Each structure stands twice: as C-alpha cells, then as structure tokens.
Structure 1
C-alpha cells in the first residue's frame, strides 16, 4: 500500500508531502490546477519514460519519492529479496522506498531502498505495487498477460495453474534432453574413437601419487653415483674405522670431561648434551647405511623409468593435459563412453516419457481451461451489469478465450484471453486496448475491478478522471463502486465530480496560484469543514451559495 508520496520541483508543484491510508482517497481541484500530476508522479515511479518537461521551471531537477508498506504484498517483498534490494538484507522488509530524480536535461536516475536500479527494475517492482487506470495506454488492464492473471485470480485457478506449470516444466525438460541426444547424431564413430583413447590410457598407471613417485625414482636413479659417493663419504667421516671419525672424537671428548666433572658440576650437563648428540649421530649413521643400501646403479632400471615417463609425457601432449591430469581425463572419457553407449536406449525411453508428459500437460491444461471458461462467463456477466450502472447502458463486456496454436509445453495453459467491450448497443465487441474513449475505458476498468472485487494481487489502484463525461445519478454510483473497491484495496481517484469526491475516506485538494509571476500548485489534505467547502465549490462553481453548501453537507451525510 502507498503510505507516503513526496514531490519536489515537479511540474507546477514546488514541494508537496502526501500521506495515504487504506480505503478511497479522492483528489480534486480546479481545471488546470494539476490534480492529475499525482497520477503522473506515480507513473514515473512506476518506470514510465521521463522527459525534461516534468521539471519545474527554474529548477535543475525534479525529485519523486514513494514509500510503500509491504505487509500485504508478499510478492513485492519476495522480488526485493530476489534482487537483493530488501532494506536491511534480512529479507524482513516491512516498507519499500522508491525514489526517482529527473534532471532538466532529460536524464533520470532511480533508486529502490537507497540502491541504484534500472528503469526496468523500477517497472518490475511497481507492477506488483500499483495499477493505474486512466486515459493512458500504460494501464495494466490493457495488457493481455494482466488480463489472464486477473481472470485466474477471479476464477481462483491457482491450483490448476500450478499443475499446468509443473507439467510443462516436466515435458520441456524431456524435450530438451531428447534434443541434446539427437543433436549428437550417429555416435558409433565417436564411441570407437573414445574406446581407443580410453584403452590407451588404461594401460598406464595414471594416479597423480604414482606419477609423483615415478618422478622421485627417476631423480634418484639419475643421480645414483653422486648419492652413493656422498653417502659413503659421510658414513666414513662420521663413524668409519680407517680414520679419526666424528663418533670417536665425540667419545674421547666425553671421557675427558667425565674425568674432571666432579670439580665442575655443570660439565655433567654438557656430557648429557653430548650423549644426546651421540644418540642422534648413531641414528644418522643407521639412516645413512639404509639409504646407501637402497641405492643401486642399475642402468636398465633407469631406462625403464625414462621410457615410462616418456610415454606419460607423450600421452599428456596428445590429450592436451598435464601428466597429473591424465587420470581425470581418463575418467571423463569413461563417463562419456557410458553415456553414449546408453544414448540409443535412452532415446527410445524418452519418446515414451515425452508422450506421457504431453498427455499429463494436456489433462492439466484442460482442467485449467474449463475453470477459466466458467470464470470468464461469470466475470463478463458481472462486468456487463456494472458498466450499465456506470452510464454505459446497452454496453457489453466479453472475454474471448483463444486456443494457442501448436503443440508446446506452455506453463500458462492452452489458451490466452482478450477482454472485449462494446460501448454502445449494436456495436461489435472490440479489444479493450482498442477502445478510443478515455472516460469509457476508465469506467470499464472500474467495472472489471469491482466485479473482480480486487482479486488481483496489486494493493493500490489509481483511477484518473474515471468520471469523465458522466454526472448525476451515474456519478453517485461511480463513487459508490470506488468506495466498495476501497474495502479490499487502497484506491486513489482523481475526480471533478462532487458525488464521487463525497464517497472518499480522505480528500486532497490541488489548487494553483501565481507567486512572483510563476504559477504554483499546492496540495492540501482537507478536514471535515474544508471538505464541505470543496464539495460546495465543485457543485456551485466559483461563488459558493448557501444552497451549494447545503447540498455538499447532504452529500457527506448520505455517505456517513
């Protein structure tokens, strides 16, 4: 629901702040005062194209801000979460702030909850928040998808529509799988090639740890002579018998220190350290002996290792991977082979599954279509009765249901709808989007919404000059219908008729005045006394007579 609207330097409005509540809010004012500017402002906040003409003369930019509560619009709250535009990132946003700035050079920018967005995103969100009914082509009810959504809401077809969407998704997924398999054509040559490549890789041990060990063995064999010489030299110098070794020197040092340690206790600590060193030295000698024992200058073993490494590098070059990636490539070839070998069998099964899925969709679509036809008859009859009450006697409202050509898994069902209207007796019904008269279009839109009792999910409905070209008793009926719609939806209505304005739960007046040679519009919320005066002005013109005031008082008392 729209809670607050702020305008700054917008057309002839210097600055205005409007608060809105539930029910019907009416907006009145003299001709040319700018009362439809509020509708235009909501249109810009809904993503309509902006131009420099909306910027007040002398200002560098116009700024529009709308605040919406989301408690009754779960779809909008979900859209904000999905686009990461919820206010605090918790997904629990209770309000939404929409802002748009139009510069004097014609450029514009938009924000949702303080984050920059595209005009397209603004339009997507606004479609969930506001419907504008007036003399403009952007009305939601002129859109065939919106018409279908309204009919489904009226017919309460949610369960049937979900069933159709699920069946369409299943059917579509199977078709895509079959297309992907069929696109591969004759796979026998591919299978032969894969089998050859896979067999070639299978003959080698390709696990990365095996290749790493092979490289270690290769380095050891390549440097075997140096390693053997180094080990033998180190062993001789550390513990050999032919020359003074480090082991003997260490033992002699310990004996000398132990002989005099009784005179200096700290030498015992030194002896302990040397003892630990002797242990480490012995362990090193054991390890050296083991390493030396493992080393063997075997030219034939080296050749075998070299040959195997050469084969691995050749395979890696052939398959355009590193040696360490050969195992993964082998497994990928095996997986593709398995899929291709089963492709023929899968294609045969797919044909049967697709036919089952098609039959399931048709059954679900038929149930949805049946419910839509019943809903279309009921909505058409109710709307036809209402447009007669709204001053279009003899007019007729129809809903055409057209089957979709072709055989495809459509998630919306097997038909589309078109709202048709004949404004006068004897005229053929034409598409609602082709109705020429703006006033008739507004009243038809009102009749449809009243007949549907606001069943579409959009919480705020705006009617611009819905009472154009009517008066008297019809005007009073229009007001009553708007007030009735306000019981289930927030309704904003720009009007010039007192019979309509009297039905409002709240009333704003737009007036204009010249200040320093510049025309400005002001927007004022009216209290009870002011509202009576405004209705009297609407009834009697510029000069307020006692009779006009009395008539205005009666209008208000009849409503309350």
Structure 2
C-alpha cells in the first residue's frame, strides 16, 4: 500500500506531502488544478517515462518519492532476488534534472525497467487511455489469459519455446535445402578456411610470446650491455676493486661484531644475511642468463615470418588467435552440417514435427481454458456492468481460429469481447457500438473482476467516470467503493457521487503567489467536504447545493 507521497518541484506542484490510508481516497478540484500531475508523479514511481518538461520553471531538480508497504510473497521474493528488500518499507524515488532522470529503490540506483518490474506488484494504474485500449482485440486476449492465471502463463511459455525451436529448425532446413551448386561452393569455402587455419598450427598466447621474443632480439645490444654491467657490479665492482657482494660481506662482518656488544642489532644482522643470500641467488641467475645470451639473426627472421602469417589470418578470421581458432571451430561445424545435409534435413524435419505436435497439444489446452474461463470472465464482468446501471447489458466472448500454417506464441486463436447495451441487440465489437460512458463502465466491470483476483494492494483510477452521469454515476460510485474494500483505491474524479462515498477526500486547487502559480492539496474535514461536494453538484455553495451535498454525504456516512 502507498502510505506516503512526496513531490517537490514537479510542474505546478512546488511542495506536496500526502499521508494516505487504505480504502477509497478521492482527489477533486477544478479542471487544470493539477490532479493529473499527482497521477503523473505516481507513474514516475512505477517506471514511467520522465521528461524535463515536468521540471518546475526555475527549479534545478524535481523529486518524487513514494513509501510503500508490501505483504505479497511474490513482491517480497522479487525484491529479495534484486537485493532491494528491506523489512520496514519500499521507498521509491525519482529525481529529474534537465539532463537526466535517476531511479532509486531503497536508496539503491536501479534501471527504469527494474522500476517497472517492481511497480507492477505495487500499483495498478488505470488512466483515461485504457478506455481506448479496450478497442483492440489483442488487449482482450491478454485480459483472458490474465484471468486464467498461472495455467495460461505456463502454457504460453511452452508455446514460445516451441515456436522458437520450430522457426530455428525451419530456417536451418531452408539453408540446407538450397541448390546443389551453392552447397558445393560453401563446402569448398569452409574446407579451405579450416585447412588454412589448421596448417598454421596456432596456439593460444603464441602471438604475445613471439612479440616478446622479437623485442628482445631487436634490442639485443642494449640488453647485453645492461646484463654485463649488472654482472660486473655484482662480482667485479666495475673496475673499482670491490663488488657489491664483497661490500655486503664486509658490512655483515662489521654488524656481527657490533651485535656481540649490542644484541639489539641481531635483527639487522639477520636481515642483511638474508639479503646476501638473495643477492647471491640473483647474481647466479644473471650469470647463467649472461652465458646463454646470444643473437640469432635467423630466429628473428623466423619470428617476423610467423607474425606476418598471424597478421594475415587475423585480417581474415578474427582480431586475435583465440578468435581465429573460434572461427575455425564454427567453420568446421558448419562444414560438417552442410556435408551431411540430407541426413541433417531428415533429422530436422523429425524434430520440427515433434515440436509441432507438442505445440498443438499446448495450444489446445490453452484454447480449452480460454473458452471456459473466458466465458466466465465475460459473465462476471457483465454482472458488474449491470450493477452499474446497464440492466440490459450483454458481454460475450468470441473465439476465432487463426488461419495460416505459421505458429504463433499467443496460440491458435484470437479472442474478442463483444458488447451490447440494449435489449434485442446482438453483441458486437466494442469499437463499433460502445459510447464513452459505456466504455468506462465496461472497463470498471473488468477491473472489479480482476481486483478480486490479484494481490496488487493499490489501484489508481484517473477519471474513470468519463462520460458517466445521472443514475449511472451513483452505480459507478458504489462499485468503486466495493472494489476499495480490502484495498487502497485512489480516484481522480469530477463526480460528486464518487467523492461522497470516499473514506478520504483531498481538494486540489491553484493559487497565485508572488506571480507564480502554486498547486495546493488540502485534506477536507466534514465541513469543507460538504462545501466541495456542493461545488461539484452545482458550481456554487448555495443553500440548496449545501443541503443536497450534506444529504449525499449522510447517505454513505451514517455517523
């Protein structure tokens, strides 16, 4: 549940801090007062697209934060898998600057995609645009599958795997079933490539070793001079009569004598003795290296030739020896596959047939579920729609088999909800007959069904009352109130009937302050709520309007 919403410098809202409760909360106010900005803020917290246009004029940064509590196990597990779970609450933050947008969950920076994934467990947003989405049959199929639940999800996943495997087999069969001339050309090409790489007898790390050895040969004189100088310093003193080893030996003798008189020098004596042993080992190694050091012009030529070969192969097959060998492995596999194409095609056709059979079994199971549970969904939604003042409404489900031989990840049929508002009329596609008010009630009827099934704690309705008035408005209000039982529902509305049934009522209005427009949100008490309902009923606060508003409020709040 959304417990707190904090907004800073978002569009016309300079500062807002809302404490929210369970049950139905309504947001009302004049058109343009800023109600939609609050919905936009919630969308941002759920991973919606951020724009610098939302930044309040003159502000450097916009800030939106929501504090959520979660109890659903799936949501908790998702957050734990992402390393974002904290027991007390889920705190989601969006910061917007002219150049970037930052998303955070419990103080950790996350991607917009992660925010969407987490937000899907927290809030179900229903904006005005969703009325139009009902006009598209593709949306109907997703609604039915959502109603079916886990069984549909598992079957759809199986269909997706089958389609990928079927398409991959078909693509490979097409490649292998080309004309014989092209197949022969490819065999010759891949055979040449494999043989060329094999002939080079490349080994991983070889190029680095060759370059190191070449560098040593090219700098032989410099290397030899340095080694000779070090050797003579260690053993002969470079003409000064005393070598480094001699000097160190004399120092150790002096320190040993001194340590007999001052025992605290024993540690220094041991360190010098260790240094002597190490230096002696190093001198011995350098002596051996010096004796073995020689310049071989023919070896340098061999290295240059070998590096030139590696360079040519790199230009053709990869950026390095590892990539060349990987190319060789793929080319050899392709060569074997093409060379044995007839056998491979037969194998692929058998695999494709098995996958097709598996697809049909899963698709038929899904079709049966869609027929049975889809009709149940339509019947449940129809009952809710009738509760909304459309006593003669009919909502049915039409299932049509898809034509063609191609496999679809969505199954073998398309689904469309058909609607009739009037007695004696056959149900037809929503896009052809439903008015704006009817579409609102159809959507609310579907939401009423799904709110009982899912575990999303918070629902947001942004002007779901569009096109609704009269008796239907009261029916819509009562339905939203029932949906809010056991959940948190936030509703932006212009209907006094909906505002009257709410547990909490916020009034949104604009003021001008020092030549700036500022949106303010006020929690209404019993008195101010009556005045706002009067304004919504008649546009003024006349005695008749106030009396009507009080009656409307008393109807739903006895105490």
Relative to the length of structure 1, the TM-score reads 0.65
Matched, 1:373 2:371: yes
8 Å CA contact 2:24, 2:490 repeated in 1 = yes
Matches within 5 A, 1:21-420: 21-29=21-29, 33-34=30-31, 37-43=34-40, 46=43, 47=48, 60=58, 65-67=64-66, 69=68, 71=70, 90=84, 92=86, 94-98=90-94, 110-113=101-104, 129-134=123-128, 136=129, 146-156=139-149, 158-173=150-165, 175-176=167-168, 179=171, 183=175, 186=183, 187-194=186-193, 196-197=195-196, 200-201=199-200, 208=206, 312=306, 315-316=309-310, 319-320=313-314, 329=324, 333=328, 336-343=331-338, 344=341, 345-420=343-418
Which residue of structure 2 lines up, in the alignment, with residue 471 of structure 1?
470
Partners of 1:108 and 1:315 lie apart in 2 by 50
Q: Which structure has the larger Rg?
A: 1
8 Å CA contact 1:24, 1:505 repeated in 2 = yes
Partners of 1:291 and 1:8 lie apart in 2 by 78
8 Å CA contact 2:33, 2:510 repeated in 1 = no
8 Å CA contact 2:207, 2:321 repeated in 1 = no
Partners of 2:477 and 2:190 lie apart in 1 by 76
Which residue of structure 2 lines up, in the alignment, with residue 438 of structure 1?
436
| Alignment RMSD (CA, Å) | 5.8
8 Å CA contact 2:481, 2:502 repeated in 1 = yes
What is the deviation of 1:209?
Answer: 11
What is the deviation of 1:411?
Answer: 3.4
Q: Structure 1 pair 318/51, CA: closer, same or farther in 2 (3 Å)?
A: closer
What is the deviation of 1:467?
Answer: 7.1
8 Å CA contact 2:509, 2:520 repeated in 1 = yes
What is the deviation of 1:367?
Answer: 1.0
Query: Aligned with 1:460: secondary structure?
Result: strand
Partners of 1:405 and 1:15 lie apart in 2 by 56
Q: Structure 1 pair 90/175, CA: closer, same or farther in 2 (3 Å)?
A: same
Matches within 5 A, 1:441-452: 441-452=439-450
Q: Structure 1 pair 517/196, CA: closer, same or farther in 2 (3 Å)?
A: closer
Partners of 2:70 and 2:469 lie apart in 1 by 36
Query: Aligned with 1:452: secondary structure?
Result: helix
What is the deviation of 1:119?
Answer: 9.1
Q: Structure 1 pair 40/439, CA: closer, same or farther in 2 (3 Å)?
A: farther
Partners of 2:557 and 2:6 lie apart in 1 by 32
Structure 1, residues 226-245: CA drift from partner, whole Å, max 9, x if none? 9xxx9xxx9xxx9xxxxxxx
Partners of 2:311 and 2:514 lie apart in 1 by 85
Instruction: Please say which of residues 182-191 and 357-366 is displaced more in the overlay.
Output: 182-191
Partners of 1:115 and 1:476 lie apart in 2 by 45
What is the deviation of 1:363?
Answer: 1.4
8 Å CA contact 1:35, 1:510 repeated in 2 = no
Which residue of structure 1 lines up, in the alignment, with residue 421 of structure 2?
423
Partners of 1:119 and 1:210 lie apart in 2 by 43
Partners of 2:311 and 2:516 lie apart in 1 by 81
What is the deviation of 1:145?
Answer: 5.3
* Structure 2 gaps, min length 5: 177-181, 243-256, 259-272
Partners of 2:109 and 2:411 lie apart in 1 by 36
Aligned residue-pair number: 490
Matched, 1:524 2:522: yes
Which residue of structure 1 lines up, in the alignment, with residue 542 of structure 2?
543
Partners of 2:533 and 2:333 lie apart in 1 by 82
Relative to the length of structure 2, the TM-score reads 0.65
Which residue of structure 2 lines up, in the alignment, with residue 3 of structure 1?
3
Structure 1, residues 450-471: CA drift from partner, whole Å, max 9, x if none? 1333535654231415175433
Q: Structure 1 pair 491/100, CA: closer, same or farther in 2 (3 Å)?
A: farther
Partners of 1:209 and 1:539 lie apart in 2 by 85
Which residue of structure 2 lines up, in the alignment, with residue 480 of structure 1?
478
Instruction: Please say which of residues 361-370 and 181-190 is displaced more in the overlay.
Output: 181-190
Partners of 2:134 and 2:462 lie apart in 1 by 12
Structure 1, residues 337-394: CA drift from partner, whole Å, max 9, x if none? 2552245344432221122122212211221121112122112122223222212332
Q: Structure 1 pair 208/534, CA: closer, same or farther in 2 (3 Å)?
A: closer
Structure 1, residues 112-157: CA drift from partner, whole Å, max 9, x if none? 33899999998887676342244x467665665554333222222x
What is the deviation of 1:405?
Answer: 4.4
8 Å CA contact 1:110, 1:117 repeated in 2 = no
Partners of 1:302 and 1:523 lie apart in 2 by 88
Partners of 1:98 and 1:455 lie apart in 2 by 30
Query: Aligned with 1:502: secondary structure?
Result: helix
Q: Structure 1 pair 133/444, CA: closer, same or farther in 2 (3 Å)?
A: farther
